[in-house]
A and B are shown apart, each in its own frame.
Chain A
Amino acid sequence: MTNAAISATADPSLDAGEPAGEAHSLTSDAWRLLRRRPIFWVSAGLILLFLLMAIAPGLFTNTSPTAAVLKESRATPSTENWFGRDVQGYDIYARTIYGARASIMVGVLATLFTTLLGALLGIVAGFAGGWVDTLISRITDVFFAIPLLLGGILFMSTFQSDVNTSYFVIVMKVVLVLALLGWPSITRLMRSSVLQVKPNDYVQAARALGASPWRIIRQHILPNAMAPVIVVSTINLGVYIAVEATLSYLGIGLTPPAISWGVAISAAQSGLRSAPHMLLFPAMFLSLAVLAFIMLGDAVRDAFDPKTR
């Protein structure tokens, strides 16, 4: 109440009643808020760093991640090997840098697919209504009933990989199962966004004027639904990275000789007592990556929904 009393006079531009203008000013308001938050810049910077690591690990290290120096097995961090060496005598720093690729690839691709599939199904369900909606909603329920990690474990063990399976195929398998089990949350979100917007006068008016469904979706539904979808997708990206690592840790995702944080953590277990650095660095990078995406999602949500701050 008190806030309303102030802002009513403080910012007359808020009075813009036209829906398109509202959405526009919401986005620019959000951006203005976002720019001021250090947490946004920190997470965005971290994400950029991890993306770079995934694309061009050579920028960060000249050491080959597969150059084993067995006699220096489990060497502790030194000026030469910043993160030390693991059981096989590999340079942990190099392996941690190269390990980013698997996690980032899984996270980005799985998010891309879940968001596209989820948004498409959600829009169709919300827009079409009737039996289409019922059917999609029931299918959503079915997939929602299978916990992500459980489904992932089942899927990966069904389509088990062996030594000859290429790195890329394994990564795509993980992406596939995450996409298969991850879309329902986006579908539900999108569907309810559509249902929220659909009864509004301006959408009804657009329909009455004969605007094509695609046009209505693009102009009226997407701008309103985008913010929550982006937030959930960003946070999910972090979750997917964690799931990939968990699957590798359990030995059914990526397996050696593939390089990934999950594999490294799994391997580090055997020598934790004598060489904790073997666990520390991959776990730290993994957590930082997850953290960066969750923080970014949080910051974006706060920016779009300032009252929760």
Chain B
Amino acid sequence: MTKYVIRRLLQMIPVLIGATFLIFAMVFALPGDPTANKCGERPCPAEYVKKFEEEHNLNDPLPIQYAKYMGKLAKGDFGTSFREIPVKDELSERYVVTAKLATIAILFETVLGIFAGVLAGIRKGKFIDNLVLLSTLFVISIPIFVIGYVAQFLLGVKWRIFPVTVNANATGLDSWWQLLLPGLVLGSVSVAYVARLTRTNLVENLRADYVRTAKAKGLTTSRTIGLHALRNSLIPVVTFIGADFGALLGGAIVTEQIFNIQGVGGYIFSGIHNRDGVVVVGAVTVLILVYLLVNLLVDILYGVLDPRISHD
């Protein structure tokens, strides 16, 4: 097992390098003056431009630039944003917010998704099944920004159940409460996918021979379905939740935009708007690292959940 984890971590390195290089190239190879807009309306003084170019090795070929940047990154130096705030500081602050948002979304999609999926699966073809199938299809097909915007308008502005936007200075329970609605919005599409996947797998597994065996063993229906069939049905669901994590991070950019959340997504987006490459590359690199680690975790979990998968 340890061997497997180490091997996977080593395999992750080229993927991480490849993906971040692509991002780096996209951001820094862009045509145009990287110091544009940095000094207000006027062009920057030549001195500043020179300093900036030196600091970011802009005169080197792209791969060298990248290597130098990654070297700094490995030492924990993320550079500074154009507002002269260390990217590292702001990132660590904003990561907490996005992590909370993602936690709410994942909890929501896991709990409600599995619950709805099981409900539909055991009542296949009945009213509740059709209700779940139809409503999930509905949710899947409405783009997240529409869901977010309508939810904000109805639940926040009109009925005043939830706060409309997120206050960056809130602490404790408040900081969770104000992220609840954005978290639900972020998880809404995945909830639908999890529910449908759970249902499909459960329906299939309820027909499996080992479920027939469980019945023949004289086990109660709740144990036959709730333990024997469900345990097998959840294996692909766990994989999905891991793979879906990337979509969740993408969705976070939109959600944070709608609810004005000071998270990583908003940070990346404002970085893009301000053409602040240092911010974008730093934030995205960490995002991709987290994504890859989550996928590794899911793969390991997969081996634990399904003994047929060997990690040796």
Contacts and interface: CB of A to CB of B under 8 A. Distances in A.
Interface of A: 1, 138-139, 141-143, 145-150, 152-155, 157-159, 238, 242, 245-246, 249-250, 252, 265, 269, 272-273, 279, 283, 286-288, 290-291, 294-295, 298, 307-309
Given A145-B16, A147-B249, 7 more contacts: A145-B288, A158-B30, A245-B145, A249-B145, A249-B254, A283-B146, A287-B138
The secondary-structure label for the interface of chain A is helix
B253 A149 contact: yes
Nearest to A248: B145
A304 B3 CA distance: 40
B204 interface: yes
Contacts of A158: 26-27, 29-30
Contacts of B26: 154-155, 158
A287 B253 contact: no
A115 B19 CA distance: 22
Contacts of A250: 145, 253-254, 257, 269
Nearest to A292: B141
Contact of B141 (A238, A272, A273, A309): A238
B254 A272 contact: no
Interface of B: 14-16, 18-19, 22-23, 26-27, 29-30, 137-138, 140-146, 149-150, 153, 157, 200, 203-204, 207, 209, 212, 246-247, 249-251, 253-254, 257, 268-269, 272-273, 280, 284, 287-288, 291-292
A286 B145 CA distance: 12
A282 B19 CA distance: 35
A250 B150 CA distance: 16
B249 A150 contact: yes
Given A158-B27, A246-B254, A145 B141 contact: no
Q: Which 8 residue pairs are nearest across A and B when measured between Cβ atoms?
A: A149-B250, A142-B18, A291-B141, A147-B246, A290-B141, A145-B19, A147-B250, A157-B272
A150 B249 CA distance: 8
Nearest to A141: B15
Nearest to B153: A272
Contacts of A150: 246, 249-250, 253, 268, 284, 287
Given A149-B250, A308-B203, A138 B14 contact: yes
6 contacts: A143-B22, A145-B291, A242-B143, A279-B149, A287-B143, A298-B137
Nearest to B209: A1
B269 A153 contact: yes
B124 to A, nearest CB: 9
Given A153-B269, A287-B143, A148 B27 contact: no
Nearest to A238: B141
Which residue of B29, B143, B257 has the most chain A CB atoms within 10 A of its CB atom? B143
Contacts of A147: 246-247, 249-250, 287, 291
B207 A307 contact: yes
A141 B11 CA distance: 10
A94 to B, nearest CB: 21
Nearest to B280: A154
A153 B272 contact: yes
Contacts of A138: 14-15, 18
A1 B284 CA distance: 51
Contacts of A155: 26
B232 to A, nearest CB: 15
Contacts of A142: 14-15, 18-19, 22
A286 B143 contact: yes
A287 B141 contact: yes
B292 A145 contact: yes
Contacts of A238: 141
B284 A307 contact: no
B251 A283 contact: no
Contacts of B200: 308
Contacts of B209: 1
Contacts of B157: 273
B153 A273 contact: yes
A148 B142 CA distance: 17
A279 B287 CA distance: 32
B146 A286 contact: yes
B137 A291 contact: yes
Nearest to A295: B137
Nearest to A149: B250
B19 A146 contact: yes
A145 B296 CA distance: 12
B145 A146 contact: no
A154 B254 contact: no
B137 A246 contact: no
A146 B16 CA distance: 10
A142 B287 CA distance: 14
Contacts of B250: 147-150, 152-153
Nearest to B146: A283
Contacts of A1: 209, 212
Contacts of B29: 158
A146 B22 contact: yes
Contact of B143 (A148, A245, A272, A307): A245
A157 B275 CA distance: 9
A269 B18 contact: no
